[in-house]
Amino acid sequence: MKILLVDGTIIGRKTGAVLEQVKTYIEEFRPEMELEILHLSDYEHQFVDGRPSSEYNEDMQEMVRRFNNADGYIIASPIFQGSIPGVLKNAFDMLHPRTMRYKPVSIVANGGTYQHHLVIENQLKPILDYFRCLVTPNYVYTHTSHFDDSNSITNEDVHDRLRELARVFVEYADMSQHLSKETIDEH
């Protein structure tokens, strides 16, 4: 299975650092899983404005192809202004609604305010529900204080939660393989 780990920001390092750590833990549980990281910061973004997809630049089209070709996702997001970054929402807007349907997804997020883990509950999960993803019940929210100066995660509880997230994610990935993709309705 091919899993796309999406670093959903073009600013900051901690979100990517959490993603790298999740990747390590998934590799420990399931070495045969194909894991690749997509850094939104590597792409030249264009606002989604309803034009035909062929009229977007090659980066936007490549980003969509990578989402389409994946069998599951880890979505990593910082919290910006009490929400997810615009660039991540724009990337979601670029996808066909069926792109992530019935595929396993886990969320990791980082913010400077503890209470803003609720952004995941109230904003990111509803988007993934719209896409009809198999969102794991586990997600991990990290706070600036969980990192050292070089952005390594120093908090052991966070490591435990990331390990548990990886364990549950691979179980959801297995489950998703038994879901028929042929019975998709259009509504």
Ligand X SMILES: Cc1cc2nc3c(=O)[nH]c(=O)nc-3n(C[C@H](O)[C@H](O)[C@H](O)COP(=O)(O)O)c2cc1C
Q: For binding to ligand X (CB under 6 A), which residues are involved?
A: 11-15, 78-82, 110-113, 116
Rank residues 120 and 166 by Cβ distance to ligand X and give the closer one.
120
Q: How far is the CB of 98 from ligand X (least distance, A)?
A: 30
Q: How far is the CB of 19 from ligand X (least distance, A)?
A: 12
Report whether 62 contacts 44 (CB < 8 A). Answer: no
* DSSP codes, 117-139: GHHIIIIIHHHHHHTT-EEEEEE
Q: How far is the CB of 143 from ligand X (least distance, A)?
A: 8
Looking at the DSSP bridge assignments, the partners of residue 7 are 39, 76
- Rounded to a whole number of angstroms, the CA Rg of the chain reads 16
Rank residues 82 and 126 by Cβ distance to ligand X and give the closer one.
82
Rank residues 82 and 97 by Cβ distance to ligand X and give the closer one.
82
Rank residues 110 and 176 by Cβ distance to ligand X and give the closer one.
110
Q: How far is the CB of 119 from ligand X (least distance, A)?
A: 7
Q: Report the amino acid identity of residue 17.
A: A
Cα–Cα distance, 147 to 157 (Å, whole number): 12
